[in-house]
Amino acid sequence: MLIAGNWKMNGLDASLSEVRALVAGLKARPGLKVVICPPATLLTRVVKEAGSAIGVGGQDCHAKVSGAFTGDISAEMLKDAGATWTIVGHSERRQYHGETDAVIAAKAEAGWRAGLGVMICVGELEAERVAGKEYEVVSTQLANSVPADAASHIVAIAYEPVWAIGTGRTATAEDIVKMHAHIRKELVARFGDAGAKIEILYGGSVNPKNAKEILSQPEVGGALVGGASLKAADFLTIVDAAP
């Protein structure tokens, strides 16, 4: 299981006390990985607080190593700051920064080039689900934003239905089971046995109350948690809910 916390554009220096509380509260859980993805300005400080207890990740990376790309951060820079993971293709990057599947695939390759594990996000909009196109949309995102060599790198797929992000509207267990099974089928069809081993995380309003039910569903290999990762007590409850 991989439980990742995406702080998004939240967290100032004071948030480090939450990391301290998280480190103190993490019980030894063999096989369970916990990763925090803070804003880039806090990366080095979170790495220092986290020690070896928690992995640290970026929320995005540029495809190039360096260059004239104002405001961007390369995967190599994340690595240099002590990160071991990066998220790519989050729906907020797709929506607010116009990122295409091809751009996301290039970012995933950049993450591996730098030696990072990569969480690649997919998920349908509400209108796409209402139109009955959720499986088709996710299949297209998987086909085009997950690179052909993904299975030979450290990778996780995060299924995040956009309508469930930050809304308090979690997908039902049935929705999650069906979509994760669909994603697994696609991964196995493309990568064979290696596709059966890629973790599929669920994200979208995961909280201390619903974590146990979500994390116990078949093909749910962890969670990508937004709002509820900002408070150590809530995040720890989610971590503790992992089977």
Ligand X SMILES: O=C[C@H](O)COP(=O)(O)O
76 a catalytic residue? no
Please work out the total of residues on this chain that contact ligand X, with binding judged by CB under 6 A: 14
97 a catalytic residue? no
Q: Assess 203 for contact with ligand X (CB under 6 A).
A: yes
Q: Assess 60 for contact with ligand X (CB under 6 A).
A: no
Q: Assess 204 for contact with ligand X (CB under 6 A).
A: yes
Select from 24-32, 50-58, 78-86, 224-232 the region that touches ligand X (CB under 6 A).
224-232
How long, in residues, is the chain?
243
Select from 42-50, 110-118, 171-179, 223-231 the region that touches ligand X (CB under 6 A).
223-231
Nearer to ligand X, 166 or 192 (CB): 166
Candidates 83, 108, 205, 241: give the one binding ligand X (CB under 6 A): 205
Task: Report in angstroms how near the CB of residue 128 gets to ligand X at its nearest.
Answer: 17
Candidates 206, 211, 215, 238: give the one binding ligand X (CB under 6 A): 206
Alpha carbons 77 and 85: distance in angstroms, whole number = 12
Alpha carbons 19 and 36: distance in angstroms, whole number = 9
Which residues does 37 contact at the CB level (< 8 Å), separation at least 6? 4, 5, 6, 7, 56, 57, 58, 59, 85, 86, 87
Q: What type of residue sits at position 153?
A: H
List 160, 186, 199, 219, catalytic entry = 160
Beta bridge partners of 62: 74
Nearer to ligand X, 123 or 195 (CB): 123
Q: Please give the positions annotated as active site.
A: 90, 160
